[in-house]
Amino acid sequence: MFVFLKLTKKTVLISLVFFLMFVFVIWFNFIRNQSLLSDPLSQGIAKIDKANQLNSLSNNGQSKFYIAIVLDNFKDAYPISGINNAKIVYEAPVEADITRFLAIFNQDDLPDKIGPVRSVRPYLVDWAGEYGALFIHAGGSPEALAGIKQSLYTIYNLDEISRNGSYFWRDWQRKSPHNLYISQQSIINVIKDKDLIAAVNLDFKKWKVKLIEESINQFDPFKAYELHKIIKIDYREPVIWQLDQDRQIYLRYQAGQPFMDETNEQIQASNIVIQKTEIIVLDDIGRRSIRTDGSGEALIFQNGILISGRWQKDENIHRTIFYDLQGEEIEFLPGLIWVQIVSDDHKLLY
């Protein structure tokens, strides 16, 4: 009888241990799921799933992300790191008509160091949403952050001012907030640690890009063209693009100086796009509302030649497309595409 009771107690003890382990596993998974739901990186994932994760790159059968990063354009941020590796750059005014960059990178062609990373505005994250991108920034305006929290944009959100700050680092030889950076390895770690998956969406509409051999002889040699060697946009700090005809690229100048990156290479682009839209100052801080949908006038400069046209963004495809005046979609030259966002109040010279 004693042996039986002893065995019974032992059995009960073992059963109790297994029961507690089972309860712990249930509790752990519940806490993990709650953490994922409140993780700033997860904000926007529901939107991506709903839209079939709009964009990715297919590389040897594996899906690749576009990486969209908000970059500084204030004098204390110079020189900027990594922007010459971008495939597309949007430049738009924020407060006081100082501009900020949204740089779009391919996951498999990231520079080692990118920054300084800055805060987001609604129009910047809206453009990032066109790519279904991993969207990287450091905080933002109340409206932008509220939209991200509500999953209004098709992005994976990585915000430094959150529990994801460990993926970023600061250069303390520079003044804050113009000293925040992220590395190629950190971005790779984010994708791995968060188990992010980019699903290829066959409905995503990529911009047309000419083959290199097509771009060499893109214009009629027997037609007289007016060459536009200088493009000037009067933001608070005027931006100038100057044509280098031998290399068939535009070189960037700002505040009267060559605009250099951290490797001492001048910022350059093969395509300069002027996208005209409505820009409204919202408050005393100078926050702006920029219209990103509908349509408007566009000017496209390639190798000194101006193509007049328009931009169009429909709700159906959620993608800005550029057309010439005959309605044909613009074919871009190989190389960086730089989109300058302006209103009628910005003076242009070309």
Digit-coded pLDDT (tens) for 210-257: 987 666 556 665 566 789 999 999 999 999 999 999 999 999 999 899
In this structure, which long-range contacts are made by residues 204-207, counting pairs with CB atoms below 8 Å and at least 24 apart in sequence? Answer: 204/54, 204/55, 204/132, 204/319, 205/317, 205/319, 205/321, 207/321, 207/322, 207/330, 207/332, 207/337
Predicted local confidence at residue 4, as pLDDT: 40
Which strand (E) or helix (H) includes residue 212? Answer: helix 212-216
Lowest model confidence (mean pLDDT) among 12-26, 124-138, 159-173 = 12-26
Predicted local confidence at residue 196, as pLDDT: 85
Whole-number Å distance between alpha carbons of 64 and 55: 9
- Nearest-CA neighbor of 91 among 114, 123, 113? 123
- 266-282, pLDDT tens digit by residue? 999 999 999 999 999 99
Residue 3 tokens read as 């042996």
Whole-number Å distance between alpha carbons of 280 and 208: 31
**Cβ atoms 185, 168 nearer than 8 A:** no
Task: Examine the pLDDT at 147 and tell me if it is beyond 80.
Answer: yes
Whole-number Å distance between alpha carbons of 170 and 117: 10
- 7-41, pLDDT tens digit by residue? 465 565 666 666 666 665 555 454 444 443 344 45
**Cβ atoms 148, 43 nearer than 8 A:** yes
Residue 232 pairs with which residues in a beta bridge?
Answer: 240, 349
Which strand (E) or helix (H) includes residue 229? Answer: none
Predicted local confidence at residue 8, as pLDDT: 61
- pTM metric for this prediction: 0.82
Per-residue pLDDT band at 311 (split at 50, 70, 90): very high
- Nearest-CA neighbor of 134 among 215, 26, 48? 48
**pLDDT (mean) for 198-214:** 71
